[in-house]
Chains A and B, each alone.
Chain A
Protein backbone atom coordinates (compact mmCIF):
# COMPACT_ATOMS: atom_id res chain seq x y z
CA UNK A 1 0.00 0.00 0.00
CA UNK A 2 1.35 3.44 -0.97
CA UNK A 3 1.33 6.33 1.48
CA UNK A 4 -1.38 8.95 1.20
CA UNK A 5 -0.13 12.08 -0.56
CA UNK A 6 0.38 15.29 1.41
CA UNK A 7 2.25 18.49 0.50
CA UNK A 8 5.76 18.46 1.95
CA UNK A 9 5.37 21.86 3.53
CA UNK A 10 2.82 24.57 4.23
CA UNK A 11 3.48 27.92 5.86
CA UNK A 12 1.49 30.85 7.15
CA UNK A 13 1.73 33.94 9.31
CA UNK A 14 0.33 34.08 12.84
CA UNK A 15 -3.43 34.53 12.76
CA UNK A 16 -3.81 33.21 9.23
CA UNK A 17 -5.51 29.98 8.17
CA UNK A 18 -3.78 27.16 6.36
CA UNK A 19 -5.08 23.95 4.83
CA UNK A 20 -3.25 20.64 4.42
CA UNK A 21 -4.51 18.16 1.86
CA UNK A 22 -4.36 14.37 2.02
CA UNK A 23 -5.06 12.46 -1.18
CA UNK A 24 -5.75 8.76 -1.36
CA UNK A 25 -7.99 6.45 -3.33
CA UNK A 26 -11.50 5.04 -3.24
CA UNK A 27 -10.06 2.11 -1.23
CA UNK A 28 -9.06 4.31 1.67
CA UNK A 29 -9.84 8.02 2.05
CA UNK A 30 -12.68 8.00 -0.46
CA UNK A 31 -14.24 4.80 0.78
CA UNK A 32 -14.51 5.44 4.51
CA UNK A 33 -15.09 8.29 6.93
CA UNK A 34 -12.21 7.02 9.01
CA UNK A 35 -9.64 9.70 8.28
CA UNK A 36 -7.61 10.97 11.20
CA UNK A 37 -4.96 13.66 11.61
CA UNK A 38 -1.92 13.70 13.90
CA UNK A 39 0.36 16.50 15.07
CA UNK A 40 3.98 15.69 15.85
CA UNK A 41 6.46 18.06 17.42
CA UNK A 42 10.19 17.25 17.06
CA UNK A 43 11.25 14.34 19.24
CA UNK A 44 7.72 13.73 20.47
CA UNK A 45 5.08 11.09 19.83
CA UNK A 46 2.23 11.96 17.47
CA UNK A 47 -0.94 13.44 18.98
CA UNK A 48 -4.43 12.76 17.64
CA UNK A 49 -6.04 16.01 16.45
CA UNK A 50 -8.97 14.88 14.29
CA UNK A 51 -10.80 11.56 13.90
CA UNK A 52 -13.59 10.38 11.62
CA UNK A 53 -12.78 13.17 9.14
CA UNK A 54 -13.97 16.10 11.24
CA UNK A 55 -14.28 15.20 14.93
CA UNK A 56 -11.98 16.66 17.57
CA UNK A 57 -10.94 14.68 20.66
CA UNK A 58 -11.53 16.36 23.99
CA UNK A 59 -8.88 19.00 24.66
CA UNK A 60 -8.00 19.77 21.04
CA UNK A 61 -8.46 23.40 20.06
CA UNK A 62 -11.43 24.26 17.83
CA UNK A 63 -8.94 26.06 15.59
CA UNK A 64 -8.36 22.63 14.05
CA UNK A 65 -11.00 21.34 11.67
CA UNK A 66 -11.24 18.56 9.11
CA UNK A 67 -13.22 17.81 5.98
CA UNK A 68 -13.31 15.43 3.03
CA UNK A 69 -14.32 15.55 -0.60
CA UNK A 70 -14.01 12.44 -2.71
CA UNK A 71 -10.57 10.90 -2.28
CA UNK A 72 -9.07 13.99 -0.63
CA UNK A 73 -9.26 14.93 3.03
CA UNK A 74 -8.16 18.28 4.44
CA UNK A 75 -7.02 19.70 7.74
CA UNK A 76 -7.50 23.41 8.34
CA UNK A 77 -5.74 25.32 11.08
CA UNK A 78 -7.29 28.72 11.68
CA UNK A 79 -5.79 31.53 13.73
CA UNK A 80 -2.33 30.03 13.25
CA UNK A 81 -0.15 30.17 16.35
CA UNK A 82 3.56 29.58 16.93
CA UNK A 83 2.77 26.38 18.84
CA UNK A 84 1.12 24.92 15.72
CA UNK A 85 4.52 24.62 14.04
CA UNK A 86 4.96 20.86 13.73
CA UNK A 87 4.65 17.94 11.35
CA UNK A 88 1.15 16.76 10.49
CA UNK A 89 0.14 13.33 9.24
CA UNK A 90 -3.16 12.06 7.93
CA UNK A 91 -4.21 8.44 8.26
CA UNK A 92 -7.00 6.34 6.82
CA UNK A 93 -8.59 2.96 7.35
CA UNK A 94 -8.50 0.87 4.17
CA UNK A 95 -10.58 -1.75 2.41
CA UNK A 96 -8.00 -4.37 3.45
CA UNK A 97 -8.71 -3.67 7.15
CA UNK A 98 -5.33 -1.99 7.41
CA UNK A 99 -4.22 1.55 8.12
CA UNK A 100 -2.17 3.88 5.97
CA UNK A 101 -0.47 7.15 6.85
CA UNK A 102 0.21 10.19 4.73
CA UNK A 103 3.64 11.37 3.66
CA UNK A 104 3.57 14.15 6.22
CA UNK A 105 3.47 17.96 6.04
CA UNK A 106 5.78 20.35 7.83
CA UNK A 107 3.88 23.43 8.98
CA UNK A 108 5.96 26.56 9.45
CA UNK A 109 4.69 29.64 11.21
CA UNK A 110 6.39 32.64 9.61
Chain B
Protein backbone atom coordinates (compact mmCIF):
# COMPACT_ATOMS: atom_id res chain seq x y z
CA UNK B 1 0.00 0.00 0.00
CA UNK B 2 1.00 3.60 -0.43
CA UNK B 3 3.43 4.94 2.15
CA UNK B 4 4.99 8.34 2.74
CA UNK B 5 8.27 8.94 4.55
CA UNK B 6 9.71 12.28 5.59
CA UNK B 7 13.46 12.82 5.75
CA UNK B 8 15.80 15.69 6.52
CA UNK B 9 17.84 17.36 9.28
CA UNK B 10 16.35 17.30 12.75
CA UNK B 11 18.15 20.46 13.80
CA UNK B 12 18.28 23.76 11.93
CA UNK B 13 19.91 27.01 13.03
CA UNK B 14 17.89 30.23 13.29
CA UNK B 15 17.79 32.28 10.07
CA UNK B 16 18.75 29.25 7.97
CA UNK B 17 16.57 27.23 5.60
CA UNK B 18 14.69 24.11 6.68
CA UNK B 19 14.69 21.42 3.98
CA UNK B 20 12.63 18.23 4.06
CA UNK B 21 11.82 15.55 1.51
CA UNK B 22 8.87 13.19 1.36
CA UNK B 23 9.37 9.91 -0.48
CA UNK B 24 6.26 8.20 -1.84
CA UNK B 25 6.40 4.43 -2.13
CA UNK B 26 3.85 1.85 -3.25
CA UNK B 27 2.30 4.19 -5.80
CA UNK B 28 3.01 6.97 -8.26
CA UNK B 29 3.20 10.62 -7.32
CA UNK B 30 2.09 11.42 -10.88
CA UNK B 31 -1.60 10.70 -10.40
CA UNK B 32 -4.31 13.09 -11.54
CA UNK B 33 -6.38 12.40 -8.42
CA UNK B 34 -3.98 13.69 -5.83
CA UNK B 35 -2.09 16.67 -4.58
CA UNK B 36 0.70 16.21 -2.04
CA UNK B 37 0.94 18.32 1.08
CA UNK B 38 2.97 19.42 4.06
CA UNK B 39 1.41 19.95 7.49
CA UNK B 40 3.21 20.83 10.72
CA UNK B 41 2.46 20.62 14.43
CA UNK B 42 4.44 22.59 17.05
CA UNK B 43 4.97 20.71 20.32
CA UNK B 44 1.71 20.56 22.27
CA UNK B 45 -0.16 22.56 19.64
CA UNK B 46 -2.51 22.01 16.72
CA UNK B 47 -2.06 21.20 13.06
CA UNK B 48 -1.14 23.85 10.49
CA UNK B 49 -1.38 23.34 6.73
CA UNK B 50 1.79 24.60 5.02
CA UNK B 51 1.04 23.96 1.37
CA UNK B 52 0.29 21.45 -1.37
CA UNK B 53 1.69 20.55 -4.79
CA UNK B 54 0.43 18.71 -7.88
CA UNK B 55 2.73 16.45 -9.88
CA UNK B 56 2.78 19.10 -12.61
CA UNK B 57 4.30 21.56 -10.14
CA UNK B 58 1.19 23.61 -9.41
CA UNK B 59 1.31 24.84 -5.80
CA UNK B 60 -0.88 26.37 -3.12
CA UNK B 61 0.57 27.85 0.06
CA UNK B 62 -0.66 28.98 3.46
CA UNK B 63 -0.83 32.80 3.15
CA UNK B 64 0.87 33.23 6.53
CA UNK B 65 3.92 31.26 5.35
CA UNK B 66 3.88 31.98 1.63
CA UNK B 67 6.80 34.41 1.63
CA UNK B 68 9.11 31.78 3.15
CA UNK B 69 7.86 28.51 1.67
CA UNK B 70 8.77 26.63 -1.49
CA UNK B 71 7.36 23.19 -2.28
CA UNK B 72 8.72 21.30 -5.26
CA UNK B 73 8.22 17.88 -6.84
CA UNK B 74 10.59 15.38 -8.48
CA UNK B 75 8.46 12.84 -10.34
CA UNK B 76 11.53 10.83 -11.42
CA UNK B 77 12.29 10.10 -7.77
CA UNK B 78 8.63 9.97 -6.63
CA UNK B 79 9.43 12.68 -4.10
CA UNK B 80 8.28 16.13 -3.13
CA UNK B 81 10.13 18.60 -0.96
CA UNK B 82 9.65 21.51 1.43
CA UNK B 83 11.93 24.48 1.92
CA UNK B 84 11.18 27.02 4.65
CA UNK B 85 13.54 29.96 4.81
CA UNK B 86 14.57 32.32 7.61
CA UNK B 87 13.44 29.93 10.32
CA UNK B 88 12.96 30.90 13.95
CA UNK B 89 12.16 28.96 17.10
CA UNK B 90 8.47 29.29 16.16
CA UNK B 91 9.11 26.91 13.26
CA UNK B 92 10.05 24.10 15.65
CA UNK B 93 7.50 21.37 14.98
CA UNK B 94 6.75 17.88 13.78
CA UNK B 95 6.48 18.12 10.00
CA UNK B 96 4.15 15.69 8.22
CA UNK B 97 3.78 14.97 4.54
CA UNK B 98 0.42 13.68 3.35
CA UNK B 99 -1.58 12.73 0.27
CA UNK B 100 -4.43 15.10 -0.55
CA UNK B 101 -7.30 13.50 -2.44
CA UNK B 102 -8.80 16.14 -4.71
CA UNK B 103 -12.04 16.45 -6.69
CA UNK B 104 -13.80 13.90 -4.50
CA UNK B 105 -12.57 14.16 -0.93
CA UNK B 106 -10.48 17.29 -0.49
CA UNK B 107 -8.96 15.52 2.49
CA UNK B 108 -5.57 14.16 3.58
CA UNK B 109 -6.07 10.41 3.55
CA UNK B 110 -2.53 9.03 3.95
CA UNK B 111 0.12 10.57 6.21
CA UNK B 112 3.78 10.02 6.85
CA UNK B 113 4.92 9.28 10.39
CA UNK B 114 6.24 12.82 10.81
CA UNK B 115 9.69 14.18 11.51
CA UNK B 116 10.65 16.50 14.36
CA UNK B 117 12.56 19.61 13.37
CA UNK B 118 14.07 21.82 16.06
CA UNK B 119 15.26 25.33 15.34
CA UNK B 120 18.10 26.18 17.69
CA UNK B 121 21.63 27.47 17.62
Q: Per-residue CB proximity of A91-106 to B under 8 Å, as 1/0?
A: 1010011111111100
Q: How would you classify the secondary structure of chain B's contact residues: helix, strand, loop or mixed?
A: strand
Q: Give A96 to B49 CA distance when docked, in angstroms.
A: 13
Measured CB to CB, the nearest residue on chain B to A4 is: B46
* Tally of B interface residues using CB under 8 Å: 25
Q: Give A57 to B107 CA distance when docked, in angstroms.
A: 11
Q: Give A98 to B69 CA distance when docked, in angstroms.
A: 14
Q: Give A103 to B47 CA distance when docked, in angstroms.
A: 8
Q: Give A100 to B52 CA distance when docked, in angstroms.
A: 12
Q: Give A81 to B93 CA distance when docked, in angstroms.
A: 30
Measured between beta carbons, the chain B residues less than 8 angstroms from A57 are 109
Chain B interfacial positions (CB closer than 8 Å to A): 37, 39, 46-49, 52, 60-64, 96, 100-101, 104-109, 111-114
Chain A interfacial positions (CB closer than 8 Å to B): 1, 3, 32, 34, 36, 38, 45-48, 51-52, 55, 57, 89, 91, 93, 96-104
